[in-house]
Amino acid sequence: MKVAMVGSGALGLYYGALLQKGGHEVHFLLRSDYEAIMNNGLTVHSVNGDFHLPAVSGHTSPETIGGVDLVVVGLKTFANDSLHTLIKPLLAEHTGILTLQNGLGNEEYLADLFGSERIMGGVAFLCSNRGEPGHVHHLAAGRIIIGEYLKCNEQRLEDIAAAFTSAGIDCKTAGDLKKVRWEKLVWNIPFNGLSALLFQSVDRLLQVPECRKLVRELMVEVIMAANSQELSHAIPEKYADSMLEFTDGMGVYKPSMLIDREEGRELEIQAIFRAPLEYGRQHAVSMPRIEMLTALLEQVATR
């Protein structure tokens, strides 16, 4: 399978490296890491075992890649206005597009650009960070759940999941992509939000009883909004407790939004916070804690 990784941050580098190691033809669109990776290859430091790819197909322009079987989108959502330019040269008649971006609205945006039949979405439960140029650190987890935006090519979805699995990626398919997206938000909203706001890793958030209580309350607000969205099955409130237990096992971990704030980058407020609030508002679901967290993040993001 010929794959183009559009967005070669920690997520794109890690999954792309595994796919290449697994025998697939992977092309990385690169920016800041381009020189380092072209000169020295790509190194993955992983809890599952380190490995090094001495030769990587890196590009600074999609035109040098050409048509592919699969485009994997890992860009931060605030860069979505560049997706038309980055993806169009990669499309052949059969090309599928899989977005692993956070938040809501990404599949809809891509469907408007390239047609609903091409679009798949997924969530990655991955703890990874970029290190020095040409290095990515995989700290924990790595599971991916993928689904179709419209149910039109189930075999393609199964083939992609099988290809990912054969490359050592824990990948499952889901019939209700919307539900999967909201389940990821149950984690993303409290931990990305509070970590970025307070400059605290997730373990330090959970060490304070009052903060742990707030995390769960934020999770419950997300679950209430999710269950108003005509999901195939309701998300039970106890899902919040399973996410707390999952996070307890992470140890010292900085979510991506905290790293973005530390490095002075834009924050993904629209897709992760404002879009879910709007979906909740449309169904008369009150989300006061998330409203407050969003307002505070917007305030610090303007500095």
The pLDDT tens digits of the residues spanning 177-227 come to 999 999 999 999 999 999 999 999 999 999 999 999 999 999 999 999 999
To the query of whether residue 2 is one of the catalytic residues in this protein, the response is no
Task: Give the closest residue to 110 by CA, choosing from 123, 91, 97.
Answer: 97
Q: What is the pLDDT of residue 189?
A: 98
Nearest to 49 by CA among 18, 25, 20, 26: 18
Residue 251: per-residue pLDDT: 87
Question: For the domain 2-175, what is the CATH code?
Answer: 3.40.50.720
Neighbours of 44 (CB within 10 A): 22
Burial class (CB in 10 A: 0-12, 13-18, 19+), 17: buried
Q: How far apart are CA 84 and CA 103, in angstroms?
A: 19
Residue-level pLDDT at 302: 65
The pLDDT assigned to 303 comes to 59
Q: Token digits for 275?
A: 């879009």
According to CATH, what is the number of the domain 178-301?
1.10.1040.10
Residue 301: predicted pLDDT: 87
Query: Which pLDDT score is estimated for 144?
Result: 97
Residues 44/52, Cβ–Cβ less than 8 Å: yes
Among candidate residues 76, 178, 179, 184, the one labeled active-site is 184
Angle 288-301/275-282 helices, nearest 10 degrees?
150
* Alpha carbon distance 42, 10 (integer Å): 12
Residue 280's identity, in one-letter code, is G
Q: Which stretches of the chain drop beneath a pLDDT of 50? A: none
Res 181: pLDDT: 97
- Domain positions in the chain are 2-175, 178-301
pTM of the model: 0.94
Q: What is the pLDDT of residue 141?
A: 87
